[in-house]
Amino acid sequence: MAVGSVLSLFSGAGGLDLGVEAAGFRTTVAVEWDEDAADTMLKNRDRFFPELNEAMGVDLYPLATGQGKGVTTKDIMKVGGFSSRERPDLLVGGPPCVAFSKSGFWLDWKREADDPAASLLQAYTAVLAKSKPRYFILENVYALTFNNKASRPAFDRLLAEIKAAGYQFHWQVLHAADYGVPQARPRLFIVGARKGEKLPDFPEATHHGDWERRATGGGPLPHVTTGEALADLATTPEKSEVVRGKWGHLLPDIPPGDNYLYYTEKRGHPDPLFEWRSRYWSFLLKLNPNAPSPTIQAQPGPNVGPFHWDNRRLRVPEMRRLFTFPDEFEFVGRRNSVQSQLGNSVPPKLAEQVARKIAEIL
């Protein structure tokens, strides 16, 4: 028997929904503008989302701005089988995070907080205020909490709108690797409850290890490594796995776990090609089989990793494992679309542990 019903926004391929389903909830409606991602959820409906009525392929930007015509909260509620008397038990969602993502802060429009997609946070709070679920989970990039011109005003506004909607809440940055995900992926989670309901706790870390030269977690188990996660996985070559671009030929000489810094004078390379820290860390970055994967991006450049230690791009089944999607989960779309769906997703194993703290109350 289901713990409760879920209304899902910005659902992507369903990573967050897989997690809440594993915690005992049932998603009845999902809203996602990307057609491939929405089709992915529908393709997996019978096996993984048994009570999903529809994955609505609609854009929530008009709802965020109040300008133009678009889907309304009432429309979404109706598709999900909700009404003014039958409210969702849980609202979940991860609004697009490009404006606040740590990557790309060299761009003027990001530093100046001049991205219209930033207001999609307001689409989430608009639905929260009108659908009035008992609980909610909002996931986003942890850079939203940074004290800079782009992030701080948006974060303060978001928290104020949640409070105005009638919710108590707290927030925390959770590192996916600290919860058994074989990937270094810190994410912001805001969890809240209607006034009068018990506010759930955040889950305790189950794993520990290092991330960016500092220790994380505190759980009894060591981080799950890429070698462990991929050990029994059989895959077939993919056409797009060959690393090309201007610098792709350099990858074979880079040791596992290292990156372009291998080719610097500071590292003692006899023919240095790069200045020290002149590129992003992910440039020519190779997986270390003895550590979790670095964060896997949705739209990496031609020489942006992580790459497999066999000097190629990661194959779809490997990425699926490193995000903790089930092996049987099928994706719709071309290779670039699947990478985007995975790179934008919440690891289901992490989402499950957050949702279980709400399920325990219900």
319/338 Cα distance (integer angstroms): 10
Residue 73 and residue 131 in one domain? yes
Beta-carbon contacts of residue 324 (< 8 Å; ≥ 6 apart): 180, 181, 182, 347, 348, 349, 350
Cβ atoms of 181 and 188 closer than 8 Å:
no
Q: Please write the tens of the pLDDT for every residue from 218-235.
A: 899 999 999 999 999 999
Residue 272 and residue 207 in one domain? no
In a domain? residue 319:
no
- The letter for the amino acid at 230 is L
Range of the domain at 308: 236-314
Residue 262 and residue 141 in one domain? no
Q: Please write the tens of the pLDDT for every residue from 313-333.
A: 999 999 999 999 999 999 999
Beta bridge partners of 264: 274
Residue 146 and residue 175 in one domain? yes
Residue 215: pLDDT over 80? yes
Centre a 10 Å sphere on the Cβ of residue 101 and count the other Cβ atoms it contains.
Answer: 18
Nearest Cα residue to 136 out of 6, 24, 249, 248? 6
Centre a 10 Å sphere on the Cβ of residue 27 and count the other Cβ atoms it contains.
Answer: 30
Q: How many domains does the chain have?
A: 2
- The letter for the amino acid at 81 is G
pTM listed for this prediction: 0.93
| Per-residue confidence (pLDDT) for residue 1, from 0 to 100 | 65
**Torsion sign across C-alpha atoms 174, 176, 177, 179:** positive
Residue 208 and residue 90 in one domain? yes
Look up 97 and say whether it is catalytic.
yes
Residue 154 and residue 303 in one domain? no
In a domain? residue 227:
no
Assign residue 74 the CATH number of its domain. 3.40.50.150
Beta-carbon contacts of residue 126 (< 8 Å; ≥ 6 apart): 63, 64, 73
Residue 207 and residue 250 in one domain? no
Active-site option among 97, 127, 143, 254 = 97
